């Protein structure tokens, strides 16, 4: 097998192949054109990389989580916490005063009972006033 | 103002990608179209030589086109050809592997029942070609059939090297890039392929 024979073989096989390509029927040609169009439509439909939501969604999620974490950390200061505790303690003291039965503060519940009796008396007096 | 133009163009591609009338997208799309139109028929025939079935060959070529345009369109156009043929060859091998697995599975299963209506579905397939055949043309077709059969009998790498170098006209470096191997390997595969084909086809072919 000489080099010349090899070249002749290569040329013949190439010519046969190209003849077979030229002889492709219309059905195949048409389907290849359709395939090409579909591929090119896919290429045209590509979005710019910076508008790809797949790229930004994880980054946006991480950023949102970080902002929430930082706001929770900074937005609940120690002073705010202490003020809330002070308010709660003051309310507790008020309740304690009302319910208290110490000598100095009097009987708060009796005082409230007296007021109800007074308003009942005043109401009756007002209704029978002109006749008396 | 220029910033707004850029942004508007970006949003146009986002909102309505198909008719993008200008810019880089259109530029590489045109180049891609030219490239694919030039290459598609040869690629189909090469796939058909390897797979025999024209529908399978069409599927593999279409997949290769889609993968090239989706993943590598932004690459320099000089890289498209080796990339395309690498994708195509991978597709061919995947299909051949699937066929082998299917064949093994099918040997364990009962064969499909004969469908008497099947033959009547496409009557044109069974009609003899009545067109007059020129003897020379017929001889060429027979010679090509023998060449295809011999190519199918070659190891995949030898077949690939022969088709890319001889049919597609790629140089050694480009073929090496398409086959993802060294230039030395390409030369070895090609030389063995030529030797084996000539032995199979004989001197009179």
CATH of the domain at B183: 1.10.10.10
Same domain, B77 and B30: yes
* A5-44 pLDDT tens trace: 899 999 999 999 999 999 999 999 999 999 999 999 887 7
CB atoms near residue B32 (< 10 Å): 22
pLDDT band at B11 (very low <50, low <70, confident <90, very high): very low
Q: How close B17 gets to chain A, by Cα (Å)?
A: 5
- Give the count of alpha carbons within 13 A of A110, CB side only: 5
- Quote the pLDDT of residue A71: 83
**What are the tens digits of pLDDT across the range B137-187?**
888 889 999 999 999 999 999 999 999 999 999 999 999 999 999 999 999
CATH code: domain of residue B39: 1.10.1740
Q: Does B11 reside within a domain? A: no
Whether B120 shows a pLDDT value over 70: the answer reads no
User: Considering the domain boundaries, does residue B131 fall inside one?
Assistant: no
**Domain end: B108, B123, B146, which one?**
B108
Nearest CA in chain B to A42: B70
In a mutational test of the B interface, the residue from A17, A21, A29, A50 whose CB has the highest number of chain B CBs within 10 Å is A17
Who contacts A42 (Cβ-Cβ below 8 Å, separation ≥6)?
Answer: B66, B69, B70
Helices A108-128, A78-99: axis angle to 10 degrees equals 60
Same domain, B101 and B170: no
Q: Answer whether B54 sits within 8 Å of A35, measured CB to CB.
A: no
Indicate whether B99 and B27 sit together in one domain: yes
More confident residue, A49 or B32: B32
Please tell me the distance in Å from A26's CA to the nearest CA on chain B.
12
pLDDT above 60 for A48? no
Return the pLDDT at A70: 86
**Do B46 and B93 belong to one domain?**
yes
pLDDT of A117 strictly over 70: yes
B144: closest CA of chain A, how far (Å):
6
How many residues appear in chain B? 205
Enter the pTM of the model: 0.61
Q: Is residue B183 part of a domain?
A: yes
Assess if residue B130 is contained within a domain: no
Q: Contact A45/B17 with Cβ under 8 angstroms? A: yes
% of chain B residues with pLDDT over 90? 60
**Of the candidates A17, A29, A44, which has its C-beta nearest B18's C-beta?**
A44
The partner residue sitting opposite B29, judged by closest CB among A31, A32, A44, is A44
For A39, residues 6+ apart whose C-beta sits below 8 A from its C-beta are B32, B36, B62, B65, B66, B68, B69
Distance from CA of B111 to the nearest CA of A (A): 31
Residue B190 is predicted with a pLDDT of 97
Answer whether residue B77 shows pLDDT above 60: yes
For residue B110, pLDDT over 80 is answered with no
| Of B92, B108, B124, the domain-final residue | B108
Asked if residue B162 and residue B99 are part of one domain, the reply reads: no
Give me the number of domains chain B comprises.
2
pLDDT at A92 over 70: no
The pLDDT assigned to B7 comes to 40
Whether A132 has a pLDDT exceeding 60, the answer reads: no
Chain A residues at the B interface, defined by Cβ less than 8 Å, are 1, 5-6, 9-10, 12-14, 16-21, 24, 28-29, 31-32, 35-36, 38-48, 50-51
Question: What is the phi-psi region of residue A82: left when phi exceeds 0, alpha when psi lies from -120 to 50, beta otherwise?
Answer: alpha
Q: Is residue B117 domain-resident?
A: no
Return d(Cα B67, Cα B63) in angstroms, integer.
Answer: 6
Question: Does B35 score more than 50 pLDDT?
Answer: yes
Containing domain of residue B190, as a range? 137-205
Whether residue B30 is predicted with pLDDT greater than 50 in this model: the reply is yes
Alpha carbon of B81: minimum distance to chain A alpha carbons (Å):
15
Within a domain: B12: no
Rounded CA gap, B86 and B95, in Å?
Answer: 14
A 10 A CB-CB count for B81 gives 20
**How many other C-beta atoms lie within 10 A of the C-beta of residue B106?**
11
- Same domain, yes or no: B31 and B102: yes
Is the ipTM here above 0.85? no
Higher per-residue pLDDT: A126 or B47: B47
Residue B19, pLDDT > 50, answer: no
Residues of A in contact with B167 (CB under 8 A): 13-14, 17-18
**How many C-beta atoms surround the C-beta of residue A75 within 10 A?**
9
> Radius of gyration of chain A from Cα atoms?
48
> CA nearest B19 in A: which residue?
A44
In a domain, B121, yes or no: no
Indicate whether B54 belongs to any domain.
Answer: yes
Q: Long-range contacts of range A16-24, CB-CB < 8 Å, 24 or more positions apart?
A: A16/B140, A16/B143, A16/B144, A16/B147, A17/B42, A17/B45, A17/B144, A17/B147, A17/B166, A17/B167, A18/B167, A19/B140, A19/B144, A20/B45, A20/B141, A20/B144, A21/B41, A21/B42, A21/B45, A24/B41, A24/B44, A24/B45
């Amino acid at each position: 097998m000489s080099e010349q024979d090899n070249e002749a073989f290569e040329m013949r096989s190439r010519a046969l192949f190209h003849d077979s390509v030229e002889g492709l029927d219309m059905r195949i040609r048409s389907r290849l054109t359709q395939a090409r169009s579909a591929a090119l439509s896919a290429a045209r439909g590509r979005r710019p990389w910076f508008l790809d939501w797949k790229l930004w969604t994880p980054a946006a999620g991480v950023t949102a989580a970080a902002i929430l974490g930082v706001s929770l950390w900074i937005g609940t200061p120690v002073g705010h916490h202490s003020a809330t505790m002070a308010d709660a303690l003051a309310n507790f003291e008020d309740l304690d005063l009302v319910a208290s039965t110490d000598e100095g503060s009097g009987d708060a519940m009796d005082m409230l009972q007296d007021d109800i009796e007074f308003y009942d008396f005043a109401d009756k007096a007002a209704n029978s006033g002109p006749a008396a | 103002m220029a910033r707004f133009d850029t942004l508007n163009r970006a949003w146009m591609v986002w909102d309505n990608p198909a008719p993008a009338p200008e810019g880089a997208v259109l530029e590489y799309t045109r180049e891609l179209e030219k490239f694919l139109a030039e290459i598609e028929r040869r690629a189909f025939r090469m796939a058909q030589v390897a797979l025999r079935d024209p529908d399978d060959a069409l599927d593999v070529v279409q997949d290769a086109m889609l993968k090239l345009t989706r993943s590598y369109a932004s690459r320099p156009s000089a890289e498209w050809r080796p990339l395309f043929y690498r994708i195509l060859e991978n597709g061919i091998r995947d299909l051949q592997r699937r066929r082998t697995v299917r064949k093994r599975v099918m040997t364990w299963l009962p064969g499909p029942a004969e469908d008497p209506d099947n033959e009547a579905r496409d009557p044109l397939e069974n009609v003899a070609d009545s067109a007059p055949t020129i003897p020379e043309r017929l001889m060429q077709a027979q010679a090509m059939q023998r060449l295809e059969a011999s190519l199918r009998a070659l190891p995949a790498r030898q077949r690939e090297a022969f088709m890319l170098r001889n049919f597609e006209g790629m140089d050694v470096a480009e073929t090496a890039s398409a086959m993802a191997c060294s230039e030395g390997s390409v030369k070895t595969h090609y030389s063995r392929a030529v030797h084996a084909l000539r032995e199979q086809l004989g001197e009179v072919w």
